[in-house]
Chains A and B, each alone.
Chain A
């Protein structure tokens, strides 16, 4: 009797176990890869950041935090932090605000040519980062198209040296970033807006709410979670900026536009590579990403 009851139960349990095991087998390769190629190197980078010497003969530095101490005196590193944070603080808010505005305009069902507008604004995402850096470098070069057109229309009286001026060169990078990524973020918002009942907007319009009020009172509060996600993603991406710094401005003039990732790369691949110092600087980026994400989550939750 006991046997008759327990036998099917046992079999069901073992089948369930078998399935669970299959699940583990399915997720094992991907999990293993992330541990080996992401988590392990992260800790390895932390250890390396306490070392000095040639890449083939790394040894513990004395004191251990010497690389981190050196950072505070390294003018190029400090400049790269300033540059990266400048891009972050100016570009991300402008880009996200524009993306929200575009998305809310395109969410209007009465708008003609919606699909065409959306495709156009999203199109920059089809361009590679190196490719668009080259296009912008050509556009903004001293004897290039932008200067020639501005001169011809009398908007400026003499050519601007866009890429050789610390402020203008940063502006060109920021313009490039906004151009490349606004449509990308817009797509997130448009997708999230599909789950907002369209009748809310119609009701608001009947109640006399204008476009701005609809945006600030309905759209932005309802989109808050996705705005938070895009803010964290953009922050993460901007702190790792590399392609534009290398190809659009080459970090110049005189390191005035160099990003942290660009400087880390230069530290790794010069005549005297310093892997310990590169690892220490890259760890600073990791901490910055984590801290800024935590701050954004805190702020995003409260409001």
Chain B
């Protein structure tokens, strides 16, 4: 019996050690990049684990080398625009598919779901050709257009529309609201948590997007944050303090969203599969 208790105790300790190790490894790269924004190249490569005094200098150098304001402006504009438009277009579609569902609409929905299996890179060449012809290169519209109607978001909102009470719908109709008014005045306010969750994940995806922006945002004026960060390692002599300052500025918005809206974000990640 004593031996059993001892084995159990050892097992428990090992489990905690395993989880602590995993947690430390998970947070280390982000922690290290953050404190490295305070350090110079020599300290960073040497493996200094605590902040030093070079933050202001690193940020000054970063702003001298790169057009950070333009990148921030473009990233915030495209990410916010994409979030707002994607939520509007996809949520009303998900609502339409669920509330008015019949055989025809259900089959359209299953066709749309197939688009989930189309890798983005497989449509890259035609999209680039189409967008060049339409004059959408270097524009915010061109940036957001491929990502505002996604099967993922449509399915997410269709699933949540399932919990929209039929009584509310019927009562609103009797009160004389038309179908669009019911969506805007009843569904949207009721589904605020769903919108918050979808917004977190859409914003993060837009903020971190790289392949499509790299294809379509070709001038210095249309550069986004990930593209700017990627440029920081271009030269022969790399100032790692500047790189880490850039990485930190690029990561801050998504890390803040992660901590402030963690519950929404978690729901969004797992939500569409339920």
Interface status of A44 (Cβ within 8 A of chain B) = yes
Q: Report chain A residues within 8 Å CB of B221.
A: none
Judged by a CB distance under 8 angstroms, whether A83 is at the interface is: no
In the complex the two chains form, is B96's CB within 8 Å of A27's CB? Answer: yes
How many Å lie between the Cα of A285 and that of B124 in the bound state? 12
Given contacts A26-B95, A30-B89, A229-B273, A286 and B118 within 8 Å (CB-CB):
yes
Instruction: Evaluate contact between B247 and A26: CB separation under 8 angstroms.
Output: no
Contact of B208 among A123, A129, A135 (CB under 8 A): A129
* Among listed A68-76, A181-189, A214-222, interface-contacting one: A181-189
- Contact (Cβ within 8 A) A22 B179: yes
The docked-state distance in angstroms from the alpha carbon of A14 to that of B211 is 48
B254 touches A22 (CB 8 A): no
Task: Find out whether the CB atom of A138 lies under 8 angstroms from the CB atom of B93.
Answer: no
Interface residues of B in 222-274 (CB under 8 A from A): 225-227, 229-230, 232-233, 240, 243-244, 246-247, 250-251, 254-255, 257-259, 262, 265-266, 269-271, 273-274
Interface string of A104-118 (1 = CB under 8 A from B): 011000000000110
| CB contact under 8 A between A123 and B269, given known A128-B250, A135-B33, A264-B124 | no
Chain A proximity mask over B28-48: 1 for CB below 8 Å, otherwise 0: 011011001000000011110
Q: Is A172 an interface residue (CB 8 A)?
A: no
A242 to B33, CA, bound (A): 22
A152-208, CB < 8 A from B: 152, 179, 183-184, 187-188, 190-192
B243 and A45 contacting across the interface, CB-CB below 8 Å: no
Q: How large is the interface on B (under 10, 10 to 19, 20 to 34, 35 or more residues)?
A: 35 or more
| Least distance between A98 CB and chain B CB atoms (Å) | 8
Assess whether A86 is interfacial by the CB under 8 Å rule.
no
A269-287 at interface with B (beta carbon < 8 Å): 269, 275, 278-279, 282-283, 285-286
Q: Is the CB of A243 within 8 A of B179?
A: no
Which residue, B26, B47, B208, B258, has most C-beta atoms of chain A within 10 A? B26
Q: CA A128 – CA B46 in complex, angstroms?
A: 25
Distance of A51 from chain B, by nearest CB (Å)? 10
Task: Assess whether A261 is in contact with B211, with CB atoms less than 8 Å apart.
Answer: yes
Which residues of the other chain, B, contact A26 by a CB distance below 8 angstroms? 92-93, 95-96, 100, 179-180, 183
Contact A141 B30 (CB under 8 A): no
Enumerate B117-176 residues with CB–CB distance to A below 8 Å: 117-130, 145-146, 148-149, 151, 154
* Dominant secondary structure of chain B at its interface with chain A: helix
B195: interface (CB < 8 Å): no
Chain B minimum-CB-distance residue to A183:
B26
Give the residues in chain B near A22, CB-CB below 8 Å. Answer: 96, 100, 178-180
CB distance from B226 to the nearest CB of A (A): 4
Residue of A nearest to B273 (CB): A229
Cβ of B255: which chain A residues have Cβ within 8 Å of it?
126-127
Please report whether the interface of chain A is mostly helix, strand, loop or mixed according to DSSP: helix
CB of B80 closer than 8 Å to a CB of A:
no
Q: Decide if A19 touches B119 in the complex (CB within 8 Å).
A: no
| Known contacts A33-B89, A45-B126; is-contact A149 B115 (Cβ 8 Å) | no
Question: B190 in the interface, Cβ–Cβ < 8 Å?
Answer: no
Bound complex: CA of A234 vs CA of B207, how far in Å? Answer: 21
Tell me the complex Cα distance, A130–B228, Å: 10
Q: Is the CB of A38 within 8 A of B44?
A: no
A101 to chain B, nearest CB (A): 9
Q: Does A226 contact B (CB under 8 A)?
A: yes
- Indicate whether B84 reaches chain A with its CB closer than 8 angstroms: no
Q: Is B110 an interface residue (CB 8 A)?
A: no
Contact between chains at A275 and B251 (CB < 8 Å):
no
**A132 proximal to B (CB < 8 A):** yes
Q: Is the CB of A282 within 8 A of B108?
A: no
| Among A29, A124, A136, A275, contact of B26 (Cβ-Cβ < 8 Å) | A124
- Residue from A23, A148, A226 in contact with B273 in the complex, judged by beta carbons closer than 8 Å: A226
Are B130 and A41 in contact, with the CB atoms below 8 A?
A: yes
The residues of A that contact B250 with a CB separation of less than 8 Å are: 128, 130-131
Check B69 for interface membership: any CB of A closer than 8 A: no
Where the two chains meet, the residues of A that have a C-beta atom closer than 8 Å to any C-beta of B are: 18-20, 22-27, 29-31, 33-34, 37-42, 44-45, 48, 55, 102, 105-106, 116-117, 119-132, 134-139, 141, 143-145, 148-149, 152, 179, 183-184, 187-188, 190-192, 211, 226, 229, 236, 239-240, 242-243, 246-247, 260-261, 264-265, 268-269, 275, 278-279, 282-283, 285-286, 289-290, 293
B residues neighboring A (CB under 8 Å): 11, 15, 18-19, 22-27, 29-30, 32-33, 36, 44-47, 89-90, 92-93, 95-97, 99-102, 105, 108, 112, 115, 117-130, 145-146, 148-149, 151, 154, 178-180, 183, 204, 207-208, 210-211, 214-215, 225-227, 229-230, 232-233, 240, 243-244, 246-247, 250-251, 254-255, 257-259, 262, 265-266, 269-271, 273-274
Since A42-B126, A117-B22 are in contact, a sample of 14 more A-B pairs with Cβ atoms closer than 8 Å, ordered by chain A residue number, is A25-B96, A34-B115, A37-B145, A41-B123, A48-B129, A106-B19, A126-B254, A126-B255, A130-B227, A135-B247, A138-B243, A278-B125, A286-B118, A289-B117
- Give the 6 A-B CB pairs with smallest separation, nearest first: A23-B100, A26-B96, A30-B93, A191-B270, A120-B23, A126-B258
